[in-house]
Amino acid sequence: MIGMRPLLLLLALASMPGSAQTARARARDLGVAPGVFSPGPANAITDVAGVRVGHATLVIGDSIRTGVTAILPHAGNLFFDRVPAAVHMGNAFGKLVGSSQVEELGELETPILLTCTLCVWRAADALVDELLAQPGMERVGSINPVVGETNDGALNAIRTRPVGRDAVREALAAAAADPGGGPVREGSVGAGTGTVAFEWKGGIGTSSRLLPVSLGRWTVGVLVQSNFGGVLQVLGAPVGRELGKYAFKPDVASERGDGSIMIVVATDAPLSERNLKRLAARAIMGLARTGSSASNGSGDYVIAFSTAKEVRRVLVSPSAPAPPRTLRPTSEVTNDDMSGLFQGVVEATEEAIYNSLFMATSVTSRGRTVDAIPLDRVREILARFRVAGR
């Protein structure tokens, strides 16, 4: 079945309406550049040195529209070279496997996977299998896989739980093969294949910010899996209202703004798990800027990590002699120097969400099509409200 994916994907694309085939664009191509800081070279989470992203996209028959997205903080073995991490929950209607240990120990020991709601446990199981098979892991007896999700059941036959070992292996291999520092595929790919945001096709989006030298010259990058609702606004322009698709229309209609979003934040700034949690909390502000109100049925999760070597937690292999107990020296950004990073993550989160919408293509499943947001109309609205390019 894996070998048939390219053919199945081509067939699915050929069956999409014409609007899905038109060229898509990133937010900056439309003059949408949130905030005051500049993006990194790729304007992606991969601008944080060492971070890699890979996708596995499942488009099978007329009902399977899902996938896996893998985020690797660095190219080494994360179990032995762990990075500090923290989780923030804006609204916890969701399943983030492994979050309790991240909260307790403040570190990541595996790649992060994103997938569909009913696939998280299969993805976690497959991730553990892949990691335990790596050299040096022969005596490891405990591992904490981190897998997030959103519910893509509107376009995906989610009860079939189609994500398994092959898809996880494919996403991990794609991430491992990523040289880093380059563009990330966005829109209806990987874990974003079947997602819906603001009643339009959602998906994977990413963005970054490079802080000025005076603020540390740190990079903060964001990747989102958008699958939520609300009243879409772009730089304050009421795009959702103008297009006639928004939450509470006319109660305000049947759309309640439910759904979910997974937000992954990476930075090269040396941060402890405490300040990473503060950074993760600010990402929700970027989400709010796009028109989300974190409805009751929305699972809004942020997981943030630092790739800085100054704050890594290096473990000795279980097969090696036990080292003497020593204190671990660290060097980290102070509280007073966090504000620039806070601003950067708000801006990058907002833009990543726009990119997830603007780069997504229309998807059809079981006779239903969720259209990509019409970029020509978006351009018109932005021009009318005089916000593009500001």
Query: Among all residues, which ones are annotated catalytic?
Result: 260, 298, 300
DSSP string for residues in 72-122:
ESSSS-TTTEEEEEEEEEEEE-S--BTHHHHHHH-EE-S-EEEEEGGGHHH
**How far from chain centre, in Å, is Cα 194?**
14
Distance CA 120, CA 297 (A): 18
Alpha helices of 252-316 — where are they, by DSSP H? 273-289
Query: 222: Cβ–Cβ under 8 A, 6 or more apart, which residues?
Result: 45, 206, 207, 208, 263, 264, 265, 266, 283, 286, 345, 348, 349, 352
User: Which tokens go with 318?
Assistant: 């279980």
Question: What are the angstrom distances between the C-alpha of 308 and each of 47, 53, 106, 271, 313?
Answer: 13, 18, 15, 8, 11
Counted residue by residue, the chain has a size of: 390
337: helix, strand or coil: helix
- From 24, 159, 234, 275, select the one nearest 243 (Cα to Cα): 234
Q: C-alpha distances in angstroms, 380 versus 233, 240, 384, 388?
A: 14, 13, 6, 10
Kindly tell me the burial class for residue 251, based on how many C-beta atoms sit within 10 Å of its own C-beta (0-12, 13-18, 19 or more): exposed
CB 343 within 8 A of CB 38: no
What the block records as the tokens of 14 is 């050929």
- CA dist list (Å): 147 to 79, 141, 271: 15, 19, 22
d(CA 173, CA 165): 12
Asked whether 87 and 303 are in contact (CB, 8 A), the reply is yes
- Closest listed residue to residue 202, CA positions, set 287, 278, 272: 287
Cβ atoms of 35 and 347 within 8 Å: the answer is yes
